[in-house]
Structure 1
Amino acid sequence: MTRQIFVKVDQCTVNFPVDDKPFETVKKIVRDLRLEDILGDDSKVKPLNHYDEAIGFYNGQIKIMWSSKSTSQGVMLYFTSTGLRAWQDIGRLQNIRMDWPKFIAYLSDKSAHFTRLDVAVDVLDYPFGVENLFKNLQEQKVLILDAIGRIRKSDSQKFFGENQRITGFTVGSRSSNCFLRVYNKKVEQSRDNAPYIDLARTCKTWTRFEGEFKHDKAKAIIPDLVKNKIDNKIFSQKLVGYLVNQWSFVDHSKELISIWQDLKDNAKGAEKIPPLEPKLNNRLISLLKWFLTGGAGGVFYRISQLFGEVGRNDFLEFMF
């Protein structure tokens, strides 16, 4: 086989705001996304996190969750990788299309945001595998940099395996905004009844790079995609850009290794997830008020009064 790169969203969760009655929002989501038309009737399923009510589709691979006691948590739409693929593929067979640009436009229109989005990039038949990458990381022939070019220390990398073989590793903390998994997809898909066992048997190597974006990182994705007026091609490029600009695999000279350079080229200039634009919520307003009236702002004002503009500037230069 020739070298190939595939990119997709592996799983995601979306939060919808609720004005009054959560279940009314749930019914609108089911109707708008044609979930019953595509996947059949819903069933009661176990909710996740702090929600106390949930319905599910496709054996619980898709869940819609809400709180019966509060609207502040919103309504959560949860797709596993399997559920997401079933909704889109079965819908396509029924001539009900909900591709990513259309889905993103819908979410933006509803003022929804991602709370988690996993970007999966599969690299097939490149002349290296996870074991080789692990060996080079251990020998520091390959380094991992974060989004601002700092070397990720070895204690941020956790390796795992089976049958005395390294099959993957992670970078960072699961609770952070960004978490990277790198693993041998060929081993996973070579198991009996795996959905892509034929592909796993024909390729020589199959490595997955999977970026898990949560919290503010996930929340900033929809505004960024809407701003860039995506189509399906640009959407794929943006996903790769989110991954390869959050982490970089480089050699000891801090030059990108060949696979990372190929992925960068595949992104076609797409950049990392931008910072979430700040909004004036009540907490931020109270902090600004404190700064200006009782906090550091008052100190700066007093120094300026006592020592003049030169003294104030000297003080600021000393502090910062």
Structure 2
Amino acid sequence: MLKTSIDELTVVLQATVSEKMTLENNADWQKLANEIIVEFEKTADLKNIFGERVKETSCPQGYTNGFCYGQHSFYFCIAYNESSYNMGIIVKFSAQSLAYYLKKTNQQVYSFLQTLKSDKYEFRLSRCDVDVDFMNEKFTPTQIFNDLKTEKVLVFYQKNQKNKLIFVRKHAKLQGFAINRDVPTVYVGSIASDCQLRIYDKKLEQIQQNGSKLAWVLQFDSVIRFEVALKHDLAHNITDLLLKVKNDKQLNDLVLSVFLQKFYFKRARTDKATLYTKKMQKALKGDQEYLLGHVNADNDLLQRFKYLLFSSGTISTLYKILAVYGYDDLDQALEYIKNFVQNWNVNDDCRFWLQKHADDTAETFDDFANLKQYLKEN
């Protein structure tokens, strides 16, 4: 079983040529940049989706003036460089902020991009992460890494030669980060290249990080993710392709085509495609729409409660009260804590957490009973 998705986006907005020709100094550019940001936030309905615009101190590298919207646990930023109009205006969606936005607007990436057209600016992607998740499959990142390292499996890319697609061996850099004998994360290709493939145990990652897709991955015995980060010219090219997509099936096919063209795996001994490549080919030929949006989640409160139960020493202290004094005194201790919480003077750290996490947490868990379902020591 597999599914495809687009996980992360970075959009660059550029002023039109005619607008750029009117710029005489940095002050002109800053005025124009803010006009474009206002236009974009209206077009994308950012204030209704995320909240009011506020100053962002942590801008993407090279950008000096930035804004975020609302108070959230995820990262979303619009920024420009006050002295370089050629850098344009960057709109950076993290995976969580993109999932949140698409869920709120009931869109997919292609329909979102197609709503962004404006006479005020031009745009293209500078980064786009495309994913294929394999659920309940027998292969693992460790097996894939070992096969690639020993050259039992070879990597190819497809190239158009004389109007015919041919396979070309890809001599890509291979990295694996081992934990004991396992290699839960594998990188194929250089981080500086137009496309780098990451293969990793998505279920393990979400459990360890109490991630936004924890509830989703727990439905399966295993979730192995193949993730390609498209940058530079490849990100520019996929912009044009996404603007032509008309439905989810076409988006699914586009994502699968990226993998099959850039990372095609063959068994060296038989010259036949590996199981994971075969499954992508089969999905591409099929009629089923595999692309499904993940529900965004804020698990920070869950993580903090797990720490309280399993790592903080709180439970050990309460057990000592039970062992020394008995159940009645344990009840007194719990009642004392309850009263202490109700009468506690809220500090700045707690206020900041509530501003950043409260709304997203309430959307993730309906109530404490819902949160309690995921309270397991991992």
Which TM-score bucket, shorter chain as reference? 0.7 to 0.9
Q: How many residues align?
A: 259
- Amino-acid identity (%): 21
Q: Tell me which of 272, 278, 293 is aligned to 1:261.
A: 278
Equivalent residue, structure 1, for 2:239: 222
For the residue of structure 1 that corresponds to 2:221, the secondary structure is coil
Contact 1:251–1:257 (Cα < 8 Å) also in 2: yes
Equivalent residue, structure 2, for 1:76: 90
Contact 1:15–1:115 (Cα < 8 Å) also in 2: yes
Equivalent residue, structure 2, for 1:176: 193
Instruction: Map 1:94-243 to 2 at 5 A.
Output: 97-107=106-116, 110-148=121-159, 149-153=167-171, 156-191=173-208, 193-226=210-243, 228-243=244-259
Q: Structure 2-normalised TM-score?
A: 0.64
For the residue of structure 2 that corresponds to 1:126, the secondary structure is coil
The answer to whether structure 1 residue 54 and structure 2 residue 66 are counterparts is: yes
Equivalent residue, structure 2, for 1:278: none
- Distance between the aligned counterparts of 2:53 and 2:180, measured in 1? 40
CA displacement at 1:196 relative to structure 2: 3.5
Amino acid aligned to 2:237: A
Contact 2:64–2:81 (Cα < 8 Å) also in 1: yes
Q: Structure 1-normalised TM-score?
A: 0.75
Contact 1:107–1:113 (Cα < 8 Å) also in 2: no
Q: Which moved more, 1:200-209 or 1:17-26?
A: 200-209
Q: Deviations over 1:154-209 (max 9, x none)?
A: x7101113355211111111111111111111211222633333444442321110
- Distance between the aligned counterparts of 1:157 and 1:138, measured in 2? 8
Equivalent residue, structure 2, for 1:44: 55
- Distance between the aligned counterparts of 2:108 and 2:277, measured in 1? 27
Q: 1:29 to 1:59 in 2, by over 3 A?
A: farther
Equivalent residue, structure 2, for 1:293: none
Equivalent residue, structure 2, for 1:298: none
Equivalent residue, structure 2, for 1:6: 3
- Distance between the aligned counterparts of 1:40 and 1:229, measured in 2? 29
Amino acid aligned to 1:54: G
Equivalent residue, structure 2, for 1:297: none
CA displacement at 1:245 relative to structure 2: 1.4
Contact 2:44–2:115 (Cα < 8 Å) also in 1: no
Q: Deviations over 1:35-66 (max 9, x none)?
A: 11011112211211211100013356111011
- Distance between the aligned counterparts of 2:87 and 2:245, measured in 1? 29
CA displacement at 1:85 relative to structure 2: 0.7
- Distance between the aligned counterparts of 2:158 and 2:55, measured in 1? 41
Q: Which moved more, 1:254-263 or 1:21-30?
A: 254-263
Amino acid aligned to 1:184: D
Amino acid aligned to 1:206: V
Q: 1:229 to 1:79 in 2, by over 3 A?
A: closer
Structure 1 segments unaligned to the other structure (5+ residues): 270-320
Q: Deviations over 1:6-35 (max 9, x none)?
A: 111111101111236011001111111111
Contact 1:169–1:183 (Cα < 8 Å) also in 2: yes
Structure 2 segments unaligned to the other structure (5+ residues): 20-28, 160-166, 287-378
For the residue of structure 2 that corresponds to 1:72, the secondary structure is helix
